Structure 1
Amino acid sequence: MKLTPEQRAQFERDGYLFFPGHFSAEETKALTDAVPDLYGKREAFNVREKGSDAVRTNFAAHLISEPFARLARHPRMVEPVVDLFGEEVYMHQFKINGKMAFEGDVWQWHQDYGTWLNDDLMPTERAMNVAIFLDEVNEHNGPLMFIPGSHRKGVVDARHDRTTTSYPLWTVDNELIAQLVDRAGGKDGGIVSPKGPAGSMILFHSCLVHASGSNLSPFNRVSVYLSLCAVSNHIRRHKRPEYIAHRNFTPIEMLPDDCLLKPYPVEVPWKNGLPESALKTSLEVLDTAEA
């Protein structure tokens, strides 16, 4: 799936591209049917909301579940990122975020690259998030909020927030958010929220400032977030466990386009539980000649 010149120009301008209904209902169902089993596991890779048993984030599903292992190799997801980078990519992070009905908490304003830089020593912002809706996303169930064009600011100052929610983030302060929103158009387009049916997909720049509010509605908002990084830009430190920030820098080998509908063989090495190595961390900087 190659991007058009118009799409590439839009990405450069706004920092994101939205593809409503990118995956069919049947393809999406193959993924949603696998979520309850993943969320039901009592493993470190399931981070739960503060004061609740609801899953906030599930990590590394592509190493545990065959449907998500196939999604991680889907050409409709991988090819546009390769096209933008002009280079093969590896899977830096794989999350299924569960903004569950009545219980889904906020994600503070942040840049993803802020965390990847500060925690993982990722050299540059040549990495990107791909969000795929597993539920309909509407104005009521905590949609993503983007500040269009904020990626052009580059890496901004951030603080490590460990207290607001159950998952720590390098967050952006309110004064800078107000400035960025005003620059992007204020009340007239300074914040946008892509909404659409299950199966929709968003590509967004790793420096695009974004957030989402709590979900007070009776509608779940479960989405997959795949973070793809240019192979030459792999992380240089393993400060976070492997189930959060992956250490296999091998380029993704894509499957055929119908891979969510047919049982193509895939490896799921953690299907029987996390190995001990997936929990280990290190503050040492990698030797890039050996990585």
Structure 2
Amino acid sequence: MDLDWDDLRIFLAVARGESLSAAGRVLKRDPATVGRRVSRLEEVVGAPLFARSPQGYGLTDAGQRLLAHAEEAEQAVTRGAEALAGTTGGLSGQVRIGAPDGCANFLLPQVCAQIAAEHPEIELQIVALPRVINLSKREADLAIAVSPPATGRLTVQKITDYHLHLVAARLYLKEHGPVETLADLEGRPIVGYIPDMIFDKELDYLSEIGADRVTLGSNSVSVQLGMLREGGGLGIAHDFALPFARNLRKVLTDEVSLTRSFYLVRHAGDARIERMSRVADMLMSGLKAEVARLEGLT
């Protein structure tokens, strides 16, 4: 059985996008053309690769088996292209990095700017989403996570610990009185995540301060920080974000001190792609240094 790489590339796009239209946008092809190519590939392999439904295209058992081989072919093509490009010491090509918005807003811009300055031909894209990045659908090439995934053919490396504390705006504390004990939190407005939109258990901070409700909520760390800066109440904030919000002050630092971790997640097979491995190494060292630098400013 001869499989054409272009057909496999189309198969991967449909598998990841779960629809012909999504695959067409990625491939810059008409969805009808994508559908015909999928049907042709199914004829070649002699089995349906997708289960069609109003919800989209889901992989059949045969499709699941082909997926792993198609991804291996994709990685081989990428490695071959890099080998033909030669080894100049510089990096080129596109790398998409997915991250929760706290990391994406306050850490990754500095780190990625430094990588780009050292490697002008690289194209780095930051995808900031208030949810877990789906690597299997290639929403990103590399992902930053706050807890290591338990499933999937993935490589997971711990990057660094980071710290969080209870904070409030100085003007809020001046107008509403100091917070000197946990009992002083009773009746105070709390800023935090919308409870039913917390996408990782590590982000559930309410139990840390004994709060049972959020007065001002958002699924975005940046929006929460804005609410706190405007005197909306008290809330948990990343130490590395506080240099960007100079009017916020830590309170109850002995009673409320949280430690969490960042992890770098990528497809296991991508470890053999030099560009991905080098960018991953630079991301890890850069993020670790940037967390230490910003936390040191607080």
Question: Which TM class, normalised by the smaller chain length?
Answer: under 0.3
Q: Looking at both structures, which has the greater relative contact order when contacts are Cα pairs under 8 Å and sequence separation is at least 6? A: 1
- Bigger Rg, structure 1 or 2: 2
Normalising by structure 2, we get a TM-score of: 0.21
